[in-house]
Amino acid sequence: METRKVQTVGNGTYTVSLPKAWAESHGLSAGDVVTLHDHVDGVLAVQARERTHDEAPVSARIESSDPAVIERALRAAYAAGAREVAIERDGPLTPEARRVVERVARERIGVSVAAESEAATTVRIMLDSEEVSVSQSLRQLAFTVRSVHRDAVAALASPPDSPPIGSRDEQVDRLSAMVERSVSCGMADLGEVDSLGKNRSELFETWTAMRELGRVRDAAGAIGDAAASLDDPPTDARLETCRDVGDAVREIVSDGVDVVLGDADVDAARDAIGDLRRVRERLDAFDRTLDDAEGDTAALRRVSRGLRRTAECGDRIAEVGLRRAVRCGEPIGDPEPERLD
């Protein structure tokens, strides 16, 4: 880091000189135009060059006919913020490779196959940062994940023939991928940060919450798998415990997300972290009831582990909310009295 003195020119304008080595490394010389980004966190950033909508879109090229390579590369290009991907190979796409391209396009918002020839397939990603709400995407993701989790716990009362996750699992992937793309673009281009309407700290916190919500989805999947493996529903007492704890851990997750989004204050995050201790105590007691029990205890232990993992994810999301509160200068006090029955 180096410092520069603020000076004034004849008309009273404040100026700061650019480091010569930095300017030369970015190909700048006298008369060139740079972009200034005035962020809400007090940072004034200088960007050497900003791509405009009239310039060629960010593109990627895949030189392979292997379906596994194509799938991974398409997902990476989407996350990296590419607007166009050319899949080049010798000869037409194989049916398997075509199915991969179509599936990735279906699983990602704003993706479509624009053109196809014997030697190349062009995939376009039509997402404009100014039209994307990262906050709304996280809200929808949290709502979908909580719904999946609620249904997984409810399935314990009437064990299904297969896990009850269904097509919403794909919706979780679509929303998660869009959040990741937005955050990735914002980290790489300050103009994208301005378009998204969030500073970089907020983008990183949104990304962290998104990752934890993905883990909640995985925990719900484990609970759903356990429910599908049961021969009969649990006893009323055990079922009630699972339902109550399920409601509590989803509330912890919900409160944490609300604080990350700025929809709730620091008290919600603080109370969610306090609830985690009581959830752990209740799950410990539930596990002890299974020690000498007979029947589907192995499946119920899997349910308990899934609920515990959900609570831990909610705790980490709430901690992100606390960080946001500290950065905003909000005081952090003691949690409210017990909220878990």
How far apart are the C-alpha atoms of 175 and 163, rounded to whole Å? 21
Query: Shortest CA distance to 194 belongs to which of 2, 1, 37, 19?
Result: 37
In a domain, residue 339? The reply is no
Distance of CA 135 to CAs 39, 142, 308, Å? 18, 11, 27
Whether 35 and 103 map to the same domain: the answer is no
Answer yes or no: do 165 and 252 share one domain.
yes
Residues 109, 153 within the same domain: no
Q: Is residue 84 part of a domain?
A: yes
Tokens standing for residue 293 = 């029990």
Per the structure, the complete domain to which residue 266 belongs is given by 130-327
Q: Are residues 74 and 158 located together in one domain of the fold?
A: no
Output the tens digit of pLDDT for each of the chain's 341 residues: 778 888 888 777 888 888 888 888 888 888 888 888 776 556 787 877 655 444 445 788 999 889 999 999 999 999 988 889 999 988 888 899 999 999 999 989 999 998 888 888 999 998 777 777 889 999 999 999 999 999 999 999 987 766 666 668 889 999 999 999 988 888 777 677 777 777 778 888 999 999 999 999 999 999 999 998 888 889 899 999 999 999 999 999 998 899 888 888 778 887 888 888 889 999 999 999 888 777 778 899 999 999 999 999 999 998 888 887 777 776 666 655 555 45
Do 80 and 223 share a domain, yes or no?
no
My answer on whether 115 and 215 are in the same domain is no
> What is d(CA 128, CA 132) in angstroms, rounded to the nearest whole number?
7
**Read out DSSP for 146-177?**
HHHHHHHHHGGGS--SS-S-TTHHHHHHHHHH
DSSP 31: T
Largest CA distance in the chain: 88
Residues 102 and 190 in one domain: no
* 337 assigned to some structural domain: no
Query: Does residue 52 sit within a domain?
Result: no
**CA 154 to mean position of chain CA atoms:** 25
Domains identified in the chain, total number: 3
191 domain-assigned = yes
Cβ neighbourhood burial of 195 (10 Å; 0-12, 13-18, 19+): middle
Of 101, 125, 149, the domain-final residue: 125
Let me know whether 295 and 148 are in one domain. yes
- CA dist 277 and 281 (Å) reads 6
For residue 213, being part of any structural domain is answered with yes
Same domain, 114 and 171: no
